[in-house]
Amino acid sequence: MDDYPLLDLFWTMLWFFLWIMWLFLLFKIVTDIFRDHEMSGWGKAGWLIFCILLPFLGVLVYVIARGKGMTQRDLKQAKESEAAFQEYVRKAAGTSAGGRTGSADELARLAELKDKGAITEEEFLRAKAKVLS
């Protein structure tokens, strides 16, 4: 252990961390290249070749030239994923995008109206039978 001082260990860990960060950035850029529907096939091929042949320079140039677009595509992807998730939850919960509620929600609303005195017990029972049928 005396052959490898603490400072050398620190520098090794720092360079390893930076290398891993660069790999993450490279993978992010490759996925962004394929996600961009506005870029032509030749443009995608050119950026990929640039990032593979001159990896450090290619990644830096891509981030400088197209970094703002990367952010916009990420936000668009996140919004689309959130909308798809919300739609799935609505379908799974028995509600639709048009604002119609399921029978459990309707019964809860009716019970609340009855508790407030807005409807009578008879009106509540008729509405309940209508919802459950």
Task: Return d(Cα 10, Cα 16) in angstroms, integer.
Answer: 10
Summarize pLDDT for 43-57 with one digit per residue, the tens. 999 999 999 999 889
Q: What pLDDT score does 16 carry? A: 96
What is the spatial distance between Cα 28 and Cα 67, in angstroms, rounded to a whole number? 11
Alpha-carbon distance of 55 to 45, in angstroms, equals 14
Task: Give the CA-trace dihedral at 94, 97, 101, 104, to 10 degrees.
Answer: 20
For the chain, what are the domain ranges?
A: 6-98, 101-133
Average pLDDT of 64-87?
A: 90
pLDDT tens for residues 76-123? Answer: 989 999 999 988 888 877 655 455 556 778 888 888 888 888 888 888
Pairwise CA distance, residues 55 & 6, whole Å: 31
pLDDT score, position 107: 84
Distance CA 67, CA 74 (A): 11
Residue 14, pLDDT above cutoff 90: yes
pLDDT at 103: 77
pTM of the model: 0.57
